[in-house]
Chain A
Amino acid sequence: QSALTQPPSASGSPGQSVTISCTGTSSDVGGYNYVSWYQQHPGKAPKLMIYEVSKRPSGVPDRFSGFKSGNTASLTVSGLQAEDEADYYCSSYAGSIYLVFGGGTKLTVL
Chain B
Amino acid sequence: QVQLQESGPGLVKPSETLSLTCSVSGDSVTSGSYYWSWIRQPPGKGLEWIGCIYYSGSTKYNPSLKSRVTISVDTSKNQFSLKLSSVTAADTAVYYCATVGASTYMDVWGRGTTVTVSS
Contact = CB atoms under 8 A, between A and B. Distances in A.
A2 B37 CA distance: 19
B107 A92 contact: no
Given A2-B46, A89-B46, A101-B48, A51 B111 contact: no
A51 B107 CA distance: 9
* Residue of B52, B96, B103, B112 with most partner-chain A CB within 10 A: B103
Contacts, number: 64
Contacts of A52: 103, 105
B107 A57 contact: yes
A64 interface: no
B-side interface mostly = loop
A91 to B, nearest CB: 7
* Residue of A45, A47, A92 with most partner-chain B CB within 10 A: A45
Interface string B96-119: 100011011111011110000000
B109 A99 contact: no
What interface size band does chain A fall in?
A: 20 to 34
Given A2-B46, A99-B49, A104-B46, A48 B96 contact: no
22 contacts: A34-B105, A45-B110, A45-B111, A45-B112, A46-B47, A46-B106, A48-B105, A48-B107, A51-B103, A51-B107, A89-B46, A91-B47, A92-B104, A98-B60, A98-B104, A99-B52, A99-B60, A99-B100, A100-B49, A102-B46, A104-B46, A104-B47
Given A34-B105, A89-B47, 5 more contacts: A46-B106, A98-B49, A101-B46, A101-B47, A104-B47
